[in-house]
Structures are given as structure tokens and as C-alpha cells.
Chains A and B, each alone.
Chain A
């Protein structure tokens, strides 16, 4: 294998968004260093501005249709990569706005916080473009690195430290699995690029290698049975970091999963589809049932997040073009609804210094705006029409039913009912219970902007999803040569769709 590292100007252009972000995060770090007395809010706005520039370049790429590959196919810019990059940058932008009030709680290194967030975002942008096993490993570790620090950022808080340590140990373990799996696959085939791997004959070594890789990715997205780090980490981490962790890395990991499963392993679909069906059923059921018992809103959203990942896995298990469309669309709805819900949690947490669901009692009296926004976000997560979550779930279920995955659909639908229960418990506390302290709560301007963005996204994706569907359909055109939907409905309901 020879490596040709001569880069032309047009090659470098493909890296423009990443280069802009790299330059910008150096600027943020330098400004913080040179002007220590600068209010940290300014750093946040500086970071937001930088992300805005990155977003603009990505949109320009999207509109101009600029695509290509670099470094012997290690790095690919295609419509799907652009979709995920826009997703990640958008999520990062909102997370930074959410963080602004929270950062005052940190006693040290307030400026570095923004640097670390941007660095993780950069790592995830590379993940979206990873097109061979080596770049998967490098980009995944790169993005997780920032999170290791961010999760433990509340230095004097025991829970945060515990969360950081758990996340770190399990994360390093997953990285080990990933490296081991990659070495097995490479040893069996001598190839690293996804499209080259597609032609490999399945051997026992190869299968074990792939299983290890998927265990590591399963850890990343937090699907059962690789979910054990999620509740404690989400609970202990600073809430904006939890919000970030619950959305952006999930998107980036699904980019890798889609490329590996739909490109490298397209011929082995019956095998991995079955595994994904099990993972999906377990994630949805476990997440939703355990969520019922939670008293802390962050833990509740952590478990509901596990269940939501289970929903997305349905689309992956369908293994079709429509399934990939549905995954991308679902991630968009999840971005707005989940980030919106976390924004309310951060806002309430900043004001009353508590994340217990008990303390949401009577939120409607104290801040009708926040209570209403939370209501919309929770109902969207539950999948109530006409909000975004409904269209997302409908899309996923349509894709799966086209493949005859009836058992999965029925479990998924029953899970909607279960999830409705615990979301309604929160709604009840906000609207029915009397507040212990009826003083009104005022939400700060940047938080309000995020909540409005979340509300707008949740409503627009629910009521006028057409442009976004067009976008995701275009983003996954590379999968249109996959085996299409099953020709017709199977005669009987086979367990797990056969």
C-alpha cells in the first residue's frame, strides 16, 4: 500500500471547515490566555461566531455540491458527511449558548471549557468523514478526549469526578476493543477502507473483529448492553456537557455505523440486522422501564436517551435506503427536542440549583414559558403529533415495516405508551402540583434563544418536514443501490422479521 500525500489546493479545500475550526479554537485559546480579564461570555460569543463561519462553509459545500475524498480514501466529504457535520456544528453552537450561565459555576478554567467543546466538535466532524478503520479509531478517540475532561469539569463535585472516572475507564476499555477489532479485521483482509472491505469473505476472525468494533461503537451510542456508563455519567457531568454528550457524539457514531454496515457489510445484512433487532428491543424496553423509577431529571433523560437510541436502531436494522433516511431525520428531531429539554433543565438548574423532578413542581406558576417549552419537548420525545418526534417515529416505523420487522414495531409502539407515562409524570408535576416556592423564575437571554430554536425546530419538523426529508433523502443517495424494500409482505408474522 503506497501513500500519496501530495495535496493540491482543491484537496485542501475539502478540509476547509475543519481548518477554519482548528484555527478558531487556537484563537479562542489564545484570546483567553492573552486577555485573562475578558468576561468569559465574550469567549462564548467568539466561539459561536466561529461555529457560525464553519456552518457557513458547510452550507456552501452543501449548496455547491462540493464532494471528494482525501488521503487514499481515509477522509471523505460526501452529502452524508456534510449532513452530519452540519448536525454536529449546529448542536455545538446550541450547547455553547446553553453553557454560558452554567460556566460561572466552574471555579477554574472557564475559558478552556469553550476550547474543549470546540475540540470535541472538531473530532466529531472528522468522525463524520471517517471512511476507513484507522480514521475511525483516530477520530473517535480524538472526539472522546475532550469529553473525558468535560465530564469531570466540576472539580470539587464528587459526582462529577465519579462520572468522569467511570466514563474514562469504560471509554478506554471500549477504545481497546476497537483497536483489537480493527487489528483483527486488518489481519484477515489486509484492507482498511470501507468499500474495499465489502469484498472480503467472512471468516471467523473477521466476524470477531467486527463484533469487537461494534461493541465499541455500541458503547459510544449507549445502546443496551453497552449502556452502563450512561446514567451515572449523564447525572454527574455538568448539565450542558450532558446535553452535548447525549446528542452530538450519537450523530457522529451513527455516521460511522451507517458507512460500515451499509457499505462494508451490506452482504451480511441478515446477520447484523438480527443483532440490531435485539439491541433495539433491549434498549427501548430497558431505557423506558427504568426511566419510570427516576427522581432526577438528568437520569430520566439519560434513560429516555437510551430508549431513543433503541428507536434509531430500528432504522439501522431495516438496513435500507429508507432506513438511513429515517435515521438522519430522527436524529434531527432528537437534536431539537432533546437539546431543548436539556436547555430547560440547565435553565431550571441554574435558577433553583436542583435537578430533582420534585423541584419541577408548579413550574407553570413560576415560569409558564419554560413549562410550556418543556411540555412541547417531552411530548415530541414521546412522539405525539404534530410535533417532530411523531414524524421521526413514523418514518422509522415505515422503514422497518417495509422490511417486515413486525416484532420490532410492536415492541417499539408499546414502548411509546410506556414512555408517555414518565413524560406525563413530569408534565403533571409542572402543571398540577403546587410549587414549594412560588417566586417567578426568569430565563436568561441566551437560554431563551436556544429554547426558541428548539421549539421552532420541533414544530417545523413536525408540521412542515418536507424540505428536511428532501435533505436527508439527498444526503443518503449513496445507499440507493442497497437491496430495496422487501418485495411484498411476508405471508405470516415471522419472529423478528426472519
Chain B
């Protein structure tokens, strides 16, 4: 059983419900500027709180920290149980960071129903944070589903594409379809626990608590069934090739802010690392599962990269590159060794800065040209040098140039993949090369060469707000790229425990030094 640390103050609940409470406050406000400032204020406050969370987090520990538990529906074994460990803790500040940037970006790019937009965005933040900090599987599922509602409205009401109605509905129905299978998987986990608890006379007889489920042995063939049921939910949400078809639609038709959240926060692959791998180690290790999942990961890497190569639209290119990157994450996770898992986790965090950052830049371009089609650009570097520079920096990070965060993540993933089976590594490297090709080719055509038609009139370079977004993203990119140690230390304990569990089927007891700041 994993050790649990409580903090004495319900900081996770505060982080969880602050944006929702903020959304309710926005409801009461009337004036537009006030709404914007309030939304920004709430998101910054949230960012500060999550920063506090990160600084008080004990690194190199596998313990579940800041634990809070209140019974919710005891007869069904559901409790409101929140906690973070090395796997989840980084995503909480990441979500707050991206939401803050999205609010900054939306400042003057969202022009109608402004109040409703910020309400939906803050509600989305609560649901997303909830997914990362829930340790009870039903509470997790609640937030997992809840996220669909604000996303639906964000895509539908503020999307820029003509097909946004279709995209929003497709997104909701696809992910819902996956989720219902996942719910069956979750209920089967509970039922397995129930059988075990009844035969061993353990109280309570029902439980959805991750930590309690971890202590329950699950027969191997049942693990495989549950694994595939969970896989459906996670694969649709991630999305993993071939369940990805909603993603390009949602990213292109929806607003930039939604695209940043959807592409930057990797919920599906997080679900694998949080629940599937530790709860179902036998299934995750089994030859059939590894072969299928790795096959899908490699297919996603190559498919995404090749389709991205021929896209003339930057947002479409990014959508497919996002599918390719997800393949990388999956490649790392199912290498099932320390480097692979750590690389996969770090890559998930990295994508929150690189892919999300590229979507911001696509948004900057869209604001200037009302298009992200290649035909609208050409020779832009002369006109907007600052924008072009940041596009290059974030783009190079996304293709994994040494010195940027992308390199650290991809390197670890490939290391893990090679030591698992060399073919995985070789195909993965091909994906890296293709990634460099599609980005640089696009960049060259958009930024250099002759000026595109209609570009002769003046075109503004980045304004202060946009610079703030680009600079803060670049700072994170270089920080992780040049000095990843603090981040890796945060992950280390939990990743090591996960590796131990995968190898020995037993979660290593967490060792936490006596000088921990909490308790």
C-alpha cells in the first residue's frame, strides 16, 4: 500500500474548486473589462496556488501527497479522495499555466459572449484539474465526463470553422462512447475488489479507491479484459490512432484556446500511467497487449508525421503532429522500463509547452491573416521577425532539438524503446526525422521565400500580451531543456515505484525522509 501524506490544509480542494467558484463570480458580473480582469485574476491566483503545491511537494517520493479523503457514497464505496504523486503533480500547474495563457490570448480575440466564454474556460479548468488529482475512480470519471460539457460549448459557440457544430458533437459522442466502456472496466475493478473483500472479510465491501484497488490481486485473464475496456476510454480521449478522427476536427473547427487545452493536456495517456499500468500490471506486460499497443503507437507516429508532411494548413499540420507525438508518449509508456516511463511522462508535460505553444502561434498568425493556410503566408520572417523567431524556437523544441525540453523527453523515450526492443526504437527514430521534415518544410515555405499576395500592407508583429505568452512558453522550454533535474526528481519516486510494480507486481513502499515539510 502506498504511503499517504496529508497536508493539514485542503489545498487540492481549493485548487479544484477555485476556478469553478470564479466562474460563478463571473456570472454575477456585467461589465466586459471587469469579466476579463476577474477571469485573469482567478487564473493567476490558481497558478500561484499550484506553484505552492509544487514547491511543497516532496520529490523523490512515491507517496500520495496532500491527501484528502471524505466518504461520498459509502454503500457503493465511493469517496471524495484527492491526492497527487510524482505522476500527476506536474499536470496541475501545467493546466493552470495553460489556462492563464489562454485567458491572455483570448483577451481581444474573443469578441462575443465574452462572459460565457470565460465561464466555460474556468469550468473546464476545474474539470481538468479534477481528472489529475482524483484518486477515486468514480470521482475521476465524474470529472472525465464533466470536461465534455464546457468543451462542447467552447467548440460549438466560439469555434472559427464552418463545421464547428459537427466537430463539437463528434468530439462529445466519440469520447462518450469510449468512456462508457471505461466505466464498465472501472465497475469490474470494483467488483473484483468486492469478491476479494467478501472472501477475506475486509471492510468496506465495495471500493473505487485506487489505493485500495492496488492491494487487491486481479486474475491475469480478468486483467486483460479490464485493460481493453479501460483502453477504449483512454484511447478515444487521448486520442490514439485509429480512434483519432475527432481530434483534427475539434482542433481546427474549435477556438484556439480549446485547441491549446485539448492538444496540450494529455488526459488519455495520463490515464494509462495513472490507472492502467499500476492496476493491471500483468495485462500491461502481456505479449499480446504490448504488441498491439506498441503497433498502434508506431502506426500513430508514422501516420501522424506523414499526413502532417503534406498539410498546407498549419492547424491541420499541428493536429496530425499531435497524433504523432501521442504515439511517442505511448511508445515510452509501453516500453515498460524506467527510461521509457519517465520519458513518456516528461513528453506529456513537454507537449503542454510545445504543441500548445505552436497552437498559440497558429492563433497569432490567424489573427493577422484570418487563415492558417500556407497560401496566406510566404516571406513572413521579414515582416514579423519576432513572431517568426518564437515559431522557430517552439517548433524546434517540438521536433526535439538538443537544448530544448523536447530533446530530453524524446531521448528518454527512444532510450526506453531501444532497450525494450530495437525495432521500436528504429521506427521511433524515423518518426523524429519525419517530424523535423514536416515542421522545417512548412516553416521555410511560410516564413521565407517571396512575400505572399496581399502581404504588402503593414502587418503587426507580436504585441505585448502575445510576447508575454511566447516568452513564458520559451522560458519553460529552455528550463526543462537545459536543467531537467528538478522535474525528473519530482517524477522519480513514483516512476520507480511503478517500474517495481510492473516488475514484481508489488508496489514498493514509499520511503519518505523524516524531514518532510508536511505531516
Contact = CB atoms under 8 A, between A and B. Distances in A.
Contacts of B184: 401, 406, 409-410, 413
A416 B172 CA distance: 12
Given A410-B184, A424-B169, A466-B72, A489 B191 contact: yes
A55 to B, nearest CB: 26
A394 B71 CA distance: 17
A390 B142 CA distance: 9
Contacts of B74: 466
Interface in A402-444: 402, 406, 409-410, 413-414, 416-417, 420-421, 424, 428, 431-432
Nearest to B178: A417
A398 B73 contact: no
Given A410-B184, A413-B183, A466-B72, A384 B146 contact: yes
A428 B165 CA distance: 9
B75 A385 contact: no
A391 interface: yes
A465 B75 CA distance: 11
Contacts of A413: 180-181, 183-184
Contacts of A416: 176, 180
Contacts of B146: 384-386
Contacts of A473: 75
B274 to A, nearest CB: 18
B1 interface: no
Nearest to B72: A466
Contacts of B165: 428, 432
B7 interface: no
A488 interface: yes
Contacts of A432: 156-157, 165
A326 B187 CA distance: 15
A313 B183 CA distance: 20
Contacts of B143: 385
B138 interface: yes
B180 A469 contact: no
A402 B191 contact: yes
A401 B187 contact: yes
How large, as a class, is the contact surface on chain A? 20 to 34
A408 to B, nearest CB: 11
A469 B77 CA distance: 12
A56 to B, nearest CB: 28
Contact of A384 (B149, B181, B222): B149
A45 B256 CA distance: 53
Interface in A429-482: 431-432, 465-466, 469-470, 473
B195 A489 contact: yes
Candidate in B138, B156, B191 with the most chain A CB atoms within 10 angstroms = B191
Nearest to A462: B142
A497 to B, nearest CB: 13
A420 B176 contact: yes
Nearest to B76: A398
Given A385-B141, A397-B187, A379 B149 contact: yes
Nearest to B225: A493
Contact of A398 (B71, B156, B177, B190): B190
Interface string B13-39: 000000000000000000000000000
Contacts of A470: 75
A360 to B, nearest CB: 16
A470 B76 CA distance: 11
A129 to B, nearest CB: 27
A202 B503 CA distance: 57
- Secondary structure of the B side of the interface? helix
Contact of B173 (A379, A384, A410, A417): A417
A431 B187 contact: no
A395 interface: yes
Nearest to A432: B156
B152 interface: yes
A140 B184 CA distance: 38
B173 A420 contact: yes
Contacts of A395: 76
B352 to A, nearest CB: 25
Given A417-B180, A424-B152, A469 B187 contact: no
Interface in B67-111: 71-76
Contact of B73 (A466, A485, A489): A466
Given A413-B184, A432-B157, A394 B138 contact: yes
Interface string A370-405: 000000000100001110001100110110011000
A424 B149 CA distance: 10
Contacts of A417: 173, 176-177, 180
A406 B222 CA distance: 14
A398 B190 CA distance: 9
B5 interface: no
A397 B182 CA distance: 13
Interface string A354-373: 00000000000000000000
Contacts of B181: 413
Contact of B142 (A385, A487, A488): A385
A368 B187 CA distance: 37
A406 B76 CA distance: 19
B192 interface: yes
Candidate in A385, A402, A428, A473 with the most chain B CB atoms within 10 angstroms = A385
Contacts of A394: 76, 138, 183
Interface string B159-203: 000000100010011001100110110011011101100000000
Nearest to B77: A398
B145 interface: yes
B396 to A, nearest CB: 40
A401 B188 contact: yes
Interface string A92-106: 000000000000000
B153 interface: yes
B245 to A, nearest CB: 16
Contacts of B192: 489
Contacts of B73: 391, 465-466, 469
Contacts of B172: 420, 424
A384 B145 contact: yes
Contacts of A466: 71-74
Contacts of A424: 152, 169, 172
Contacts of A402: 191, 194
A489 B71 CA distance: 27
A417 B142 CA distance: 16
Nearest to A409: B184
A302 B177 CA distance: 24
Contacts of B177: 414, 417
Contacts of A385: 141-143, 145-146
A390 B148 CA distance: 14
A377 B192 CA distance: 34
Interface of A: 379, 384-386, 390-391, 394-395, 397-398, 401-402, 406, 409-410, 413-414, 416-417, 420-421, 424, 428, 431-432, 465-466, 469-470, 473, 485, 487-489
Q: Which 8 A-B pairs have the closest CB atoms?
A: A413-B180, A385-B142, A488-B195, A417-B177, A417-B176, A385-B145, A401-B187, A386-B142
Given A385-B142, A397-B183, A485-B194, 15 more contacts: A385-B141, A385-B145, A390-B142, A395-B76, A398-B190, A401-B187, A414-B180, A416-B180, A421-B169, A424-B152, A424-B169, A466-B73, A466-B74, A469-B75, A489-B188
18 contacts: A384-B149, A385-B145, A386-B146, A394-B138, A397-B183, A398-B190, A413-B183, A413-B184, A414-B180, A416-B176, A417-B173, A417-B177, A424-B152, A431-B153, A432-B157, A469-B73, A489-B191, A489-B192
Interface of B: 71-76, 138, 141-143, 145-146, 148-149, 152-153, 156-157, 165, 169, 172-173, 176-177, 180-181, 183-184, 187-188, 190-192, 194-195, 206, 222
